Amino acid sequence: MIQFFSWLLLLCCTTGFAQKQKVWLDADTGNETDDVYAIVRLLAEPSIDVVGLSSAHFNNADLIAFDKWNQYLTKGIKTVAISQHLNEEILRAMHKESIPHPLGADRQIGRAWGGNEPRPSDVTTKLIRTVKMLKQGETLDVICLGALTNIASAILLDSSILPQIRWFALGAKYYSQTNAWSKNEFNIRNDLNAFDYLLDNPKVDLTLMPIDAALPFRFARDTIYQRIDDKVLTQRLLKQRWQETNPQDNVRTLWDLALVEAYLRPQNATVVEVSTPPENTKRLIKTYRKLDVKALSDDFWRVVRQLGN
């Protein structure tokens, strides 16, 4: 009997102290197709606790040079507002409006020629507050799907949050055969200042998915359309996003979904440490190098089938 109660006490204690990993997702949701897929996938994961979904801008030179960006007219465009609107739409569809969903910065940190002046926003305020509320020994995993403005700004405003945050981001290119980097990539170009700041700060725990690692994570449009159940609102949002944004594409790499899936299923992704670019502070950062595309894709479809059940 004593042994039984000892076992019961141990079980209760273990259950009581076992907590889900807290995760914050920062997304330039309005940019293209893949963010919506990544957000839905993360919100549907029962093993984690999503404590924030924030909006990021996707400002780029094409907004000045062209009349449209995907389906959006560029005249008077406010990219972070588009991301915010979509974030709220997804949360409503999944009945998760209680998750904090603050509005992010509307432009990069610093200026066009450089600089580290932060962009305070509702995101920085609530992200810093969330970290400050963590218990001793807890960490917050922040997944960044777009420009790193909100994340860099939060650190610049309060660097004391660094010990309790791990950052996961998508961007840049890495050539393993020559150990060379290229920053000529959409997310990084949208806030190069923020990327350089994070690389230069040795206290930033950064795991990066270069886009060459995500490239094989490709989905066929017709497969998406056939496998989506239009009667389920959350599933319908996935199909609708492809139809609205990239209807002409038979196949697309779902970059952001690749990062989220690799984060959630680390056993299906290879991570190695590599040196930062030579122009940055010399240190090692973690990078995704190879994905088990089939396993991660199967996992995505397994979760999608359960949406709405």
Query: Does pLDDT of 3 surpass 60?
Result: no
What local confidence, expressed as pLDDT, does residue 308 receive? 79
Helix (H, G, I), strand (E, B) or coil at 206: strand
Confidence class for position 2, pLDDT limits 50, 70, 90: very low
Q: Which two tokens stand for residue 82?
A: 């588009």
Query: Does pLDDT of 110 surpass 90?
Result: yes
Mean pLDDT across 133-146: 96
Average per-residue pLDDT in the chain? 94
What local confidence, expressed as pLDDT, does residue 7 receive? 40
Cα 238 to Cα 230: distance, rounded to the nearest angstrom: 10
Confidence class for position 309, pLDDT limits 50, 70, 90: low
Give 141-193 pLDDT, tens digit per residue: 999 999 999 999 999 999 999 999 999 999 999 998 899 999 999 999 999 99
Query: Does pLDDT of 45 surpass 80?
Result: yes
DSSP states of 155-170: HHH-GGGGGGEEEEEE
Cα 36 to Cα 29: distance, rounded to the nearest angstrom: 6
Q: What percent of the chain clears pLDDT 90, i.e. is strictly above it? A: 92
Q: How are beta strands 21-27 and 140-144 bridged, if at all?
A: parallel
Assigned CATH for 108-306: 3.90.245.10
- What is the value of pTM for the model shown? 0.93
Query: Does pLDDT of 47 surpass 90?
Result: yes
Give 12-26 pLDDT, tens digit per residue: 443 445 689 999 999
What local confidence, expressed as pLDDT, does residue 15 receive? 41
Contacts of 224 (CB under 8 A, 6+ apart): 238, 239, 242
What local confidence, expressed as pLDDT, does residue 1 receive? 44
Domain ranges of the chain: 108-306
Query: Does pLDDT of 5 surpass 90?
Result: no
Mean pLDDT across 54-65: 97
Give 202-219 pLDDT, tens digit per residue: 999 999 999 999 999 999
What local confidence, expressed as pLDDT, does residue 4 receive? 39
